[in-house]
A and B are shown apart, each in its own frame.
Chain A
Amino acid sequence: MSVTRALPRLDADNRAFWTGGAEGELRIMRCRDCETFIHPPRPLCRSCLSENVSPEVVAGTGVVATYTVNYQKWHPAMEVPFVVARVALDGVPGVLLTTNIVGCPAEEVDVGDRVRVIFEQQDDVYLPLFERID
């Protein structure tokens, strides 16, 4: 079962993020001078303006910071309901990923749930989705 999704256009800034799933890796850009994580990924650090930045493989676990259950079919092919959530990643302060929580009924998701990344491949893109850790 593959959900219809709009896919990102890959470029030099975002490729590491969107393709890390091919190796099972969630990659977040990080400053090598001051250790700030930078997301969305850009070629400089928003804390110290250093250009010494590169992707870092992070744990891929986190916690649901907030969420919503979407019930509206925004186009005919959309399957509802589904959960849109913001996940605060473990060990990645200051970064939130908007994503879907999958693998459980939508109404069961709650703030504070522990979650783990799984990747859904579509074409050349590996979408980081999350499932609850029981």
Chain B
Amino acid sequence: MHANDAFITGIGQSEIGRKLERHPLLLTLDAVKEALGESGLTIDQIDGVSTYPGRTPGLLGFSPIGADELIDALGMKVTWYAGGGEISSQLGAVVAAAAAVRTGLARHVICYRTVYEAAAMARPEEYPVPRRDRVDSYSQWFAPFNAISAVNWTAQYAMAHVKNYGLTREQLAQIALTGRANAMLNPRALVQEPLTMEEYLSARMISSPLCLYDCDRYSDASTVLIVSAGEAVDEVSCTPVRIAAMAGSVERHSWDQAEWMACYPTGADLWTKTDYTPADVDTVQLYDGFSFQAIAWLEGLGFCAPGEGGQFIEGGQRIALDGELPLNTFGGQLGAGRLHGFGFAHEAVVQLRGQGGARQVPGDPRVAVATSGGGPLATALLLARD
């Protein structure tokens, strides 16, 4: 063991659904209980909490449960906690927790992401979206032009790839098709129907070149990862997974000024912090809120050269469950639901422990990459089972 390393120990996940009635705090509790149960830890041994992006009062479905509320609701006594959106995307909360356990601020940190977007949209009387007369801050540079959704922002990066490198719809489709095929092997995945190339190619466009199946769907779920200090890792009963390297970055934060995506500098930076190389990686779990983001991550992480992501996944065999680089084996967000970043790290741990069941990557995988972020923000984790 590496005494000064951080480890992901317990992992947990609630059911994943749409328009769930179950209270988001109870979904979070479900995920916490599962993570505690498999790690053998008790809630009294948890002394830290970390989340992204914290409670978002103006848009409660996006993040209904703040760290301080969870600490209070579960009767925890913590020596460190953090929750906020001003960090290098969703898995930045795991980076913060790892830093905390490596510096002795805490021993076992619950990291969580709870989403309730589908339920909130279905119950606007409970989860109202405040009307604003005017937009400000970063929104003012998009909303007046009706570039309201992140799909409009991401689509412009994807279109640049189409124009500069010849990315085709058939290539783009492989992210969605792979995710949906894998989701059918994941009992918890939101979408359980197969997707064919014909269906993909005939789907309606949302924001060119991205069609309906290139976009994840609002979901209700909670995902928990327990990050533990090296000195405390012998207190857990599950197989710990070492955080072998972490990287995160921000481009110009306003998407309108970020010429290109943060996954490129973050992906490159990750390999400067480890002796592992891309060739050592057995499976990748790459952010796919929109399909193109996963292609950008493959390039940014150096699995192929910039511009070659489309050719790299051509036909889908390479990234299939039995391919040389299985991708998004739980279905990704396109198949499993919009878990918002945390699903990728959760699945990396599942695979490295050999607990994938019908979707287990063959050949005893030992090294995985999990990422979050898809525009001017990016976080990458390199995870290893020693």
Does A95 belong to the interface (CB within 8 Å)? yes
Q: Tally A-B pairs: CB < 8 A.
A: 107
**A5 touching B152 by the CB < 8 A rule?**
no
A40-B257, A96-B256 are contacts. A7–B207 as well, Cβ < 8 Å? no
**B152 touching A84 by the CB < 8 A rule?**
yes
Q: Report B-chain residues with C-beta under 8 Å of the C-beta of A100.
A: 145-146
A84-B156, A96-B256, A96-B259 are contacts. A66–B145 as well, Cβ < 8 Å? no
Interface 1/0s, chain A 113-126, versus B by CB < 8 A? 00000000000010
**B135 touching A8 by the CB < 8 A rule?**
yes
| A-binding segment of B102-110, B136-144, B173-181, B224-232 | B136-144
Distance in angstroms between the alpha carbons of A9 and B140 in the assembled complex: 8
Nearest-neighbour CB distance to chain B for A65, whole angstroms, equals 8
Interface 1/0s, chain B 320-363, versus A by CB < 8 A? 00000000000000000000000000000000000000000000
Within A87-117, the residues touching B (CB, 8 Å) are 95-100, 110-111
Classify the secondary structure of B's interface with A: mixed
| A-binding segment of B27-35, B76-84, B157-165 | B157-165
Q: Report A-chain residues with C-beta under 8 Å of the C-beta of B209.
A: 68
**B156 touching A68 by the CB < 8 A rule?**
yes
With most chain A CB atoms within 10 A of its CB, the pick from B143, B146, B148, B157 is B146
Q: Which residue of B lies closest to A84 (CB)?
A: B147
Q: Which residue of B lies closest to A14 (CB)?
A: B140
Q: Report A-chain residues with C-beta under 8 Å of the C-beta of B207.
A: 68-72, 84
Q: Report A-chain residues with C-beta under 8 Å of the C-beta of B23.
A: none
Does A23 belong to the interface (CB within 8 Å)? no
**B149 touching A72 by the CB < 8 A rule?**
yes
Q: Report B-chain residues with C-beta under 8 Å of the C-beta of A67.
A: 156, 159
**B257 touching A9 by the CB < 8 A rule?**
no
Distance in angstroms between the alpha carbons of A6 and B254 in the assembled complex: 17
7 contacts between A and B (CB under 8 A): A66-B159, A68-B159, A70-B152, A78-B146, A82-B146, A86-B256, A98-B256
**A127 touching B259 by the CB < 8 A rule?**
no
**A84 touching B205 by the CB < 8 A rule?**
no
**B152 touching A6 by the CB < 8 A rule?**
no
Nearest-neighbour CB distance to chain A for B151, whole angstroms, equals 8
Q: Report A-chain residues with C-beta under 8 Å of the C-beta of B381.
A: none
Nearest-neighbour CB distance to chain A for B372, whole angstroms, equals 23
**A71 touching B206 by the CB < 8 A rule?**
yes
Q: Which residue of A lies closest to B212 (CB)?
A: A72
Does A11 belong to the interface (CB within 8 Å)? yes
**A127 touching B254 by the CB < 8 A rule?**
no
Nearest-neighbour CB distance to chain A for B107, whole angstroms, equals 41
Q: Which residue of B lies closest to A125 (CB)?
A: B144
Distance in angstroms between the alpha carbons of A71 and B132 in the assembled complex: 24
Does B208 belong to the interface (CB within 8 Å)? yes
**A98 touching B140 by the CB < 8 A rule?**
no
Does A12 belong to the interface (CB within 8 Å)? no
- Closest 8 interchain pairs by CB? A9-B134, A68-B155, A8-B140, A6-B143, A98-B256, A66-B160, A69-B208, A84-B147
Q: Report A-chain residues with C-beta under 8 Å of the C-beta of B136.
A: 8-9, 11
Q: Which residue of B lies closest to A75 (CB)?
A: B148
Does B204 belong to the interface (CB within 8 Å)? yes
Does A39 belong to the interface (CB within 8 Å)? yes
**B146 touching A68 by the CB < 8 A rule?**
no
**A98 touching B160 by the CB < 8 A rule?**
no
Does A3 belong to the interface (CB within 8 Å)? yes
Nearest-neighbour CB distance to chain A for B108, whole angstroms, equals 41
Distance in angstroms between the alpha carbons of A6 and B132 in the assembled complex: 9
**A95 touching B257 by the CB < 8 A rule?**
yes
Within B70-127, the residues touching A (CB, 8 Å) are none
With most chain A CB atoms within 10 A of its CB, the pick from B136, B141, B155, B210 is B141
Q: Report B-chain residues with C-beta under 8 Å of the C-beta of A7.
A: 134-135, 144
**B134 touching A66 by the CB < 8 A rule?**
no
